[in-house]
Chains A and B, each alone.
Chain A
Amino acid sequence: MENESRDAGPQARYFAALARGRFEVQRCGDCDRHQFYPRTLCVHCGSQALQWAAPSGEGVVYSFSVVRRKPEAGGDYNVALVDLREGIRMMSRVEGVAPDDLHIGMPVRARVRDGEGGPLVVFDAQGVAA
């Protein structure tokens, strides 16, 4: 993997890739399953033979909640759990969708963007322009 620091742990490696605009997750070389979040061992089989790969980015909303906030405090925003095609789940948010249009089972696609505290994976409703 290009630019991979041999000294960095998987967490630093993950966020360094995000900073370059790349969303990469781990797949186990022994049991062939993906995992999220990145670890130094496979959570499924205990192996340390982990490889990095870009996921398809395609997923569906497993659950979501709209956090209610006063407009002067920035207004409402959603927090979603997204199941990716690779069999992993992550917390994120779905952007560009009104709370009433967001639903469980909605197909979404990952996108890396800048957040307040650093780069962030968010999701767009599939078919909706980013």
Chain B
Amino acid sequence: MTALESLRGKVAVAGVGHAGLGAAHGYTEMEILAQAACRAVADAGLSMRDIDGLATCSSSATMWSMPVAEYLGLRPRFIEATMLGGSSFVSHLLPAAMALESGQCDAVLVCYGSTQKTAAFGRSEGVKARSLLDPQPYEHPYRPLQPITSYALAAARHMHQYGTTREQLAEVAVAARKWAQRNPEAALRDPLSIADVLNARMVSDPLTTRDCCLVTDGAGAYVLVRADRARDLPQPPVYLLGSTTAVWNRQISSMEDLTVTAAAESGPRALGMAGVSVSDVDVAELYDAFTINTLLFLEDLGFCRKGEGGAFVAQGGIAPGGRLPVNTNGGGLSCVHPGMYGIFLVIEAVRQLRAQAGERQVPGAEIALVHGNGGTLSSQATAVFGGPATR
């Protein structure tokens, strides 16, 4: 057994919380982050004074972990602030697990908040600021509508190479909506048909507005502790069985094959560490910033062969009652997407494995796979969680 494999099941999520989903009028992102953090800490049966590890990052503030520590009144012995875009709060799992297992700290709070929908400084200003602070001189002059155009380029290539259809992409959005209809916290719950997705306004071919994730506010948090301690806390422990992050490129123009993401590396590594195969996975939470993401990740993670993602999701394959429950909260497409969505993947997986997911509960779910994506198909982070009976 490698040192990495020996971390399997050694830490557990003891608490989760969220705040400000949808539109957090009148609140700052720090305020809703702190509300989510307080809920996660309380859910874990702990107090903020017990938190001695902090993992967080922001898409605008480069030194974000310091104001968060200051605001929450923490003096963390472990800080993880790696910024990998939306996958960050999945990629924070492994370093946090190492810090807990080594004894560097005893309780890690992972947290994120954004008021991108209601803040005066909005998404368009953010895009403009990033083009100055983080220039991409070989892409920006061609005015890709980022991040949408990058994902559209991947979708177009997948359609060309494998015969994937817009209807199959639309299936992903329709399945997400059907799950959202079972989740009272989801932003969009009205019925959505394949035709609705196809007939929505085209943004960057072949993606319409309904192939794209929501733009919402929202904050999320979870608390990690060592497994032995988790068993003494109020909630059923959800064990971290495996976790890995992979980055192959940043820009879509530097991606070798637009139909294969670094999830093809992070997935097998995380599953290997967990000692489970995809056939053991009861529920999958896959970062669906755009409909093409879900197809790519189903293929790269090994749920189906390369090119067969479209067929996998067809006829409600990932909707309630389908072959694999995917994005059971409604996903970034229909539940919530505050700029970076990764933390909500973890929160939903934990709720499913605790059997606390209400009407959308996957019966008997014991193994959950979480997959975070960041940038423009750039960073890929996979985690495997097991329910209380898996350790």
Contacts and interface: CB of A to CB of B under 8 A. Distances in A.
A37 B138 contact: yes
B28 interface: no
A66 B156 CA distance: 10
Contacts of B141: 115-118, 120
Given A63-B154, A64-B156, A104-B156, A91 B205 contact: no
B144 interface: yes
Which of A65, A67, A99, A116 has the most B CB atoms < 10 Å from its CB?
A65
A63 B149 contact: no
B205 A77 contact: no
A90 B204 contact: no
B201 interface: yes
Interface in B194-208: 201-207
B128 interface: no
A81 interface: yes
Given A11-B137, A67-B143, A93-B142, A79 B201 contact: no
Interface residues of A, number: 27
B139 interface: yes
B253 interface: yes
Contacts, number: 75
A63 B138 contact: no
A89 interface: yes
A104 B202 contact: no
B189 interface: no
Interface in A45-72: 62-68
A67 B145 contact: yes
Contact of B253 (A68, A89, A115): A89
Contacts of A117: 140-141
B326 interface: no
A105 B152 CA distance: 17
B69 interface: no
A54 to B, nearest CB: 17
9 contacts: A37-B254, A62-B258, A65-B207, A68-B204, A68-B205, A81-B252, A89-B254, A90-B253, A116-B141
- Rank and list the top 8 A-B pairs by shortest CB-CB distance, nearest first: A65-B152, A63-B157, A91-B253, A37-B138, A104-B160, A66-B205, A63-B153, A65-B204
Interface of A: 11, 15, 36-37, 62-68, 77, 79, 81, 89-93, 99, 104-105, 115-118, 120
Interface of B: 137-145, 149, 152-154, 156-157, 160, 201-207, 251-254, 258
